[in-house]
Amino acid sequence: MVKVLLQSTIAFASSSRWWYISHPSKRCRFISTIKMSTEAYKFGPYKIDAKEVFYSTNLSFAMVNLRPVVPGHVLIVPKREVKRLVDLTADETSDLWLMAQKVGKQLESYHKASSLTFTIQDGPEAGQTVPHVHIHILPRKSGDFERNDEIYDAIDGKEKELQQKLDLDKERKDRGFEEMAQEADKFRSLFV
């Protein structure tokens, strides 16, 4: 990423894109986007490439899912690595849920869904496979599952498959990085 200062105008280049910001009030929002693209993210023991992250605050980030159950299935994760929901601070809890609300609203509209499922698997016995609190957001459509609660079985199944395939010493290889980066790029545009 290249950053060029030209008097009162700031120009940014990322890949083949250039953004120009001349209005001072828009600077902070955009600079946080620049920070997001260079920031290091962790999800439990995994390093998450910034290209997989499509929205970020000081306390949380939203990322595309390695194994989505439905189109638009994403994760909201606190930046501080915390295993259980009860261990989050009040500010982290608030930020996590406010982000889930904002991301859910945008993805429901983007995917032309009619509802959302928000779920947390809080601890290993609840099906949590990555020891880092995270909220699953799943845009829902009529008839996406024969019985509505089957979504939870599907999430559990994907988590179990993932747990069997994950080797903490190897890179994740399920969904291709390019596919995940492209999806994150589409979702990122919803928050500009």
Question: Catalytic: 134?
Answer: yes
Residue 67 near residue 85 (C-beta atoms within 8 A): no
Residue 81, CA atoms < 13 Å, CB-side half-sphere: 11
Residue 61 CB: number of other CB atoms within 10 A?
A: 24
Encoding tokens for residue 5?
């200062």
The structure tokens 């849920």 sit at 97
Q: What's the CA gap between 119 and 23, in Å, rounded?
A: 40
At position 83, the amino acid (one-letter code) is: K
User: Distance between CA atoms of 36 and 165, rounded to whole angstroms?
Assistant: 29
Strands (E), the chain: 2-6, 9-14, 17-21, 41-43, 46-48, 53-56, 60-64, 74-78, 115-119, 135-140
- Catalytic option among 73, 111, 132, 134: 134
Return the H-helix or E-strand segment holding 164: helix 150-165
Q: Which tokens hold the place of 90?
A: 């009040």
Residues acting as catalytic residues: 134
